[in-house]
Amino acid sequence: MSKQIDVLIGDNSINFGYVCSRALNSHNVSSATVLKDGIDVLNAIITKRPKVAVIEYNMPHIDALGIISFMKYFVDIPVKIIVIGTNSGEAFKTKLYESGAEDYLLKPFDISLLSDKIINLLEISDNDDLNSYSDKAQSVVDEFICEIGLPLNLKGTRYIRKALTMYIDEGSMQAVTKTIYPDIAREFNTSPANIERSIRHVINSYWSRLNREIVEEYFGGLAYEIPTNSAFISTVGYKLKKGCIKTYAK
């Protein structure tokens, strides 16, 4: 599992990403850079779970608004996002703030200004209660989903994410079996049957396309047999729970 960082910079160029990272390091702020591509940035946010992310508005594949919306409706990771760009329109900036962006910087700008804004957001983040056991559980689950290759845009994956988190929080499959589908259904305003069906669809349709190394690590000799919903949740949940306990204990 990846170690959490303070800041993710959605640009690994020498002229910006490297300079920004060095400036943050001088303030003892841990950071990482990633290719300026929406998909790469999204995956990095999910796996590295930064407290703050600095991203360009216009990126290939997914723009900043797309990433903010995805985090809000599909993953719900508490990352504070600073967007940078060249659009100076007030309507544009208002739309960004309303979508959930923490700040917007118009290019060009001084790196020291960006550093000051990041440090301020980190101080706010450190005062938030983001270190509960449930947050650790969610972090472990999110990294697993990204690493194994479950499709992030499907409802079934969102339901699997919730089910695995419930397993870790409750402690055993027996504890969640009777309520898992009804509880998730109430949260997502749908029926228990639809929850079961959506999870089954993801497992059946994508089993052969998942990261085989990760699948074999979790399922061993049963890696090539499509598991039932409960077998998938209990097998993965048990191992993720052990990882979550180790992370929480640090």
Structure confidence at residue 135 as a pLDDT band (50, 70, 90): low
CB of 67 closer than 8 Å to CB of 25: no
**pLDDT value, residue 40:** 94
Kindly report which listed range (71-75, 147-151, 230-234) carries the lowest average pLDDT score: 71-75
Which pLDDT does position 124 carry in this prediction?
Answer: 66
pLDDT of the residue at 203: 94
**Which of these ranges, 81-85, 102-106, 127-131, has the smallest mean pLDDT?**
127-131
- Please name the helix (run of DSSP H) or strand (run of DSSP E) that holds residue 180, with its range, or none: helix 180-188
pLDDT value for 129: 43
Q: Is residue 223 pLDDT above 80, yes or no?
A: no
Tell me what pLDDT residue 8 has.
95
For the question of whether the overall pTM of this predicted structure is more than 0.85, the answer is no
pLDDT digits (tens, 9 = 90+) for 163-219: 998 887 765 454 455 678 888 998 899 998 899 999 999 999 999 899 999 998 888
- pLDDT at 58 (0 to 100): 94
Residues sharing a CB contact under 8 Å with residue 39, sequence separation 6 or more, in sequence order: 60, 61, 62
Long-range CB contacts (within 8 A, 24+) of 177-186 = 177/230, 180/233, 184/159
Locate tokens 């903010």: which residue? 68
Of 29-38, 110-119, 229-238, where does mean pLDDT reach its minimum? 229-238
pLDDT band at 126 (very low <50, low <70, confident <90, very high): low
Report the percentage of the chain scoring pLDDT > 90. 40
Q: What integer best gives the mean pLDDT of the chain?
A: 84
Residue 32 above 80 pLDDT?
yes
Q: Which residues contact 233 (CB under 8 A, 6 or more apart)?
A: 160, 163, 164, 167, 173, 180
Instruction: Give pLDDT, residue 148.
Output: 93
Give the Å distances, CA to CA, from 98 to 91, 191, 228. 10, 31, 41
- Long-range contact list for 89-97, CB < 8 A, 24+ apart? 95/65, 96/57, 96/64, 96/65, 96/68
SS3 content of the chain, % helix, strand, coil (to 5): 65, 10, 30
Share of the chain above pLDDT 70, in %: 86
pLDDT of residue 178: 62
Q: What integer is the mean pLDDT of 105-113?
A: 88
Q: Is a pLDDT exceeding 70 seen at residue 1?
A: no
Average pLDDT over residues 153-160: 92
Distance CA 112, CA 58 (A): 22
- Evaluate whether 90 touches 65 at the Cβ level (below 8 Å): no
3-state class of 120 per DSSP? helix
Averaged pLDDT, 88-103: 85
